[in-house]
Amino acid sequence: MMIPTPKTLRRKNFKHLQLDPHAQMPVADAPLSQDSLKPGVEFDVYPLQDELQVVAELGYGNGGTVYKVYHPPTNTYMAKKLINLESNMKVQKAIAQELETLRVCDSDFIVKYYGQIVEPKSVTICMEFMDCGSLDKIYKAIGPFPEDILASVNAAVVDGINYLKDLNITHRDLKPSNILVNSRGEIKLCDFGVSGVLIDSLAETFVGTSTYMSPERIKGSQYTAAGDVWSLGLVLVELALGRFPFASGDNNSVSPLSLFELLQRIVEEPPPSLPANFSDASKQFVQRCLMEAEKRMTPRELRNTSFYIMGKQNPGNLLEWAAKLPRV
């Protein structure tokens, strides 16, 4: 199935995939110039599934597998997420329509969307390739994040959340694996919940998503922006500790909890906190993210904190840090 293409676009009309010709592209002299689209470069063709050459598997999650792929006609690398779906044409059509929301996103803190391929039993989403990968893989490779880097990461995520909020979008699945980094020190959000139909069609994702779910959401309340703020607080603690905050056993154990144990701890126990050596500004920020929903900061209020300002003041630290990260 193909979303109709405006006749004003002077391109051969291939089936299955529509790439957004107006998506912003990385600057030409950036380190990623060979791994991403260049400015002003538009697709002369709409690639078919078999035109996307798989370079490597990047990971699996949220119901699908993510690959680094290469498209020879445009000399472009991108990330391709393949999601298996039920064979229901109404569901597929609804997903395709809702994913079009991605086209309006134009932010330095949101991964660029290039197009989609909808097939009988799957949907493929093509998006910007980020060559340092996701935050969960980064901290597992290099260890806990220092406070200055954590502050810069936080500032980028806060800006991304606020951008989505202005579009009346809540992320719904904020976690380290959905926050990506490239070697230019850019941090961007991906996999935000613009498609409720897609989320509902992937029932198995509840287990993974629930680990960052707010207490009120676990209890059955409707998802709001306050849920994204809770997830942000939990993500920051995880990056600072170098492990998921809720672990079982003794202090040195990182054994996973059962789903029931995890949900019970999130609802009943005090929320986790940053290590003692972190500043009061960072500790207070996380504490206010992990409060009860009615006391929690709003996305806009996150920008009025010392910790957010700290992260905006030293972008050079983030660039230097990112340049040393392993590539995916």
Residues 102 and 147 in one domain: no
Mean of the per-residue pLDDT values of the chain: 79
Last-in-domain residue among 128, 162, 188: 128
Would you state the pLDDT for residue 98?
65
Distance CA 106, CA 116 (A): 17
DSSP codes joined into one string, 17-56: EEE-TT-----TTSTTTTTSPPTT---SS---GGGSEEEE
The pLDDT value given to residue 302: 98
Position 119 scores a pLDDT of 78
Any catalytic annotation for residue 173? yes
User: Catalytic residue at 136?
Assistant: no
* Whether 184 and 78 share a structural domain: no
Residues 58 and 187 occupy one common structural domain:
no
Host domain of residue 104: 53-128
**58: CATH:** 3.30.200.20
| 110 and 143 assigned to the same domain | no
C-alpha angle 7-9-14 in degrees, rounded to nearest 5: 85
Pair (103, 81) in one structural domain: yes
Q: Which of 8-12, 103-107, 184-188 has the lowest mean pLDDT?
A: 8-12
Give the least confident one: 55-69, 146-160, 165-179, 184-198: 184-198
Q: Are residues 71 and 97 in the same domain?
A: yes
- In the predicted structure, residue 290 carries a pLDDT above the cut 70: yes
In degrees rounded to 5, what are phi and psi of residue 192?
-80, 155
Looking at residue 94, its pLDDT comes to 64
Work out the average pLDDT over 107-117. 89
Higher local confidence (pLDDT), 205 or 317: 317
Residues 153, 242 share a domain: yes
Any domain includes 43: no
> Looking at the structure, do residues 198 and 149 belong to the same domain, yes or no?
yes
pTM passes above 0.85: no
Residue of 200, 228, 250, 280 with catalytic role: 200
Catalytic residue from among 131, 173, 191, 228: 173
Shared-domain flag, residues 83 and 157:
no
Q: 279 and 230 in one domain?
A: yes
Residue 35 domain flag = no
Residue with tokens 């078999």: 50
Q: Are residues 152 and 113 located together in one domain of the fold?
A: no
Evaluate if residue 280 carries a pLDDT over 60: yes
Q: Is 81 annotated as a binding residue?
A: yes
Q: Which of 256, 253, 274 is nearest to 265 (CA)?
A: 256
pLDDT above 80: residue 178: yes
CB 285 within 8 Å of CB 303 = no
β-pairing, 122-127 with 17-19? unpaired
Looking at per-residue confidence, does 227 or 194 come out higher? 227
**What total number of domains does the chain contain?**
2
